[in-house]
A and B are shown apart, each in its own frame.
Chain A
Amino acid sequence: DQQVKQNSPSLSVQEGRISILNCDYTNSMFDYFLWYKKYPAEGPTFLISISSIKDKNEDGRFTVFLNKSAKHLSLHIVPSQPGDSAVYFCAAIASNYQLIWGAGTKLIIKP
């Protein structure tokens, strides 16, 4: 039972354009969400997070939007750069404070 879903295994975006990565969750009790970025053969690195009391959080080129009624969040990267090519994971905090992870979306930025 996947509680956090990233339905797009991969996404290809032109350099300079906006990348939009989507994530859906099923548990309405989740109240904190995080996005991680992972390069091959490396550990994930934290990107940005959002609490359920907000609907938007912005950090430089990265913005996360949260739609609680739809149980949906998205990560926007603008403008997309070649170094953004990586796998992006969405995660939610469970009641025991553990992270529940999505399967990841591979973002490919085309020059």
Chain B
Amino acid sequence: SQTIHQWPATLVQPVGSPLSLECTVEGTSNPNLYWYRQAAGRGLQLLFYSVGIGQISSEVPQNLSASRPQDRQFILSSKKLLLSDSGFYLCAWSVDGGSSYEQYFGPGTRLTVT
């Protein structure tokens, strides 16, 4: 069966510090991968998605970046965090070319920028 891992679960970082969140998927090949952010009291905002290694699409301009160095690894990064980067970050995957369009989510990372 497929599983998705995210770490760390919680993170407190000062403004201006770098960020690296990692997501890995097991049990599937060539998944579509996604990074979302949920700000407090708000819905899910798609940040990046990837359909393959090295292929990243950005949905919103910001100081965050994403990379996909391996088929089942997706990394969210920042060189300098802003206070507004605080939120709940979720990684998700879906079947490439699947007909059900379902996305499966990881447990999330709670990021607090102080």
Residues in A lying within 8 Å of B, measured CB to CB: 6, 32, 34, 41-46, 49, 89, 93, 97-99, 101-104
Does B105 make an interface contact (CB < 8 A)? yes
The verdict on B90 contacting chain A, using a C-beta distance below 8 Å, is: yes
B residues at A contact (CB < 8 Å): 42-46, 49, 59, 88, 90, 92, 100-108, 110
Q: How far is it, in angstroms, between the C-alpha of A44 and the C-alpha of B34 when the chains are bound?
A: 13
Please, how many angstroms separate the alpha-carbon atoms of A46 and B104 in the complex? Answer: 7
- Select one of A6, A43, A93, A103 contacting B108, CB under 8 A: A43
- Distance of A49 Cα from B43 Cα, bound (Å): 18
Task: Across the interface, name the chain B residue whose C-beta is closest to A33.
Answer: B101
Q: A79 CA to B59 CA in the complex, in Å?
A: 39
Chain B: which residue is nearest A100 at the CB level? B46
**How many pairs of A and B residues are in contact by the CB < 8 Å rule?**
46
Hey, which chain A residues are within 8 Å of B49, CB to CB? 98
B58 to chain A, nearest CB (A): 12
Contact B107 A44 (CB under 8 A): no
Tell me the complex Cα distance, A99–B49, Å.
Answer: 11
- Contact check, A44 vs B102: say whether CB atoms are below 8 A apart: no
A6 surroundings in chain B (CB, below 8 A): 43
Instruction: Select from chain A the residue with minimum beta-carbon distance to B100.
Output: A49
> Which of B43, B59, B107, B110 lies in contact with A103, CB distance below 8 A?
B43
A77 to chain B, nearest CB (A): 19
21 CB < 8 A contacts A-B: A32-B101, A34-B101, A42-B107, A42-B108, A43-B90, A43-B107, A43-B108, A44-B44, A45-B105, A49-B100, A49-B101, A49-B102, A89-B43, A93-B101, A99-B101, A101-B45, A101-B46, A103-B42, A103-B43, A104-B43, A104-B44
